Amino acid sequence: MAGTRSATLADIADEPMLRSTDPDWDAFWRVDPRPDGRQAPDGPLLGGAAADRFEAVAEGRAVAIVPASTWGPVQRPDLTTVPLRDVPPSQTVLVTRAGEQNPLVAQFGAIAADVLVPPGSTGVPVSER
């Protein structure tokens, strides 16, 4: 996979995938079941520490699907990422109480919109709907 511009789930169909202890979280991040109905192959069961997960990948014990937005801060020179063409982007939603007046909540919403809404997308803050 390293050195390729992109991949599909079929390209990693037989690769063991990192697992978590939460079945819903696990199914989401492993895209399990796959669109073709196949189960994602089981890889190591790991805790929540990102460093442990990346170490398992670096050791060749598994592959992982990670969000592009979080890869930069934890990138390791011994690992590479390859975009998956057939996995749709996730949606992030910020929900607040109606009439929320806390300026920290407004600041958080603005920062989240700057970070999570790609330029040119149709993402519209709830306050503007």
Number of residues in the chain: 129
Lowest mean pLDDT among 23-32, 39-48, 64-73, 76-85: 64-73
Structure token digits, residue 124: 């519209």
Residue 128 has pLDDT above 50, yes or no: no
More confident residue, 111 or 75: 111
pLDDT of residue 127: 44
- Residue 96 carries which side chain, given as an amino acid letter? T
As a whole number, mean pLDDT of residues 41-61 equals 85
Say if CB 125 and CB 113 are below 8 A apart.
yes
Residue 111 has pLDDT above 70, yes or no: yes
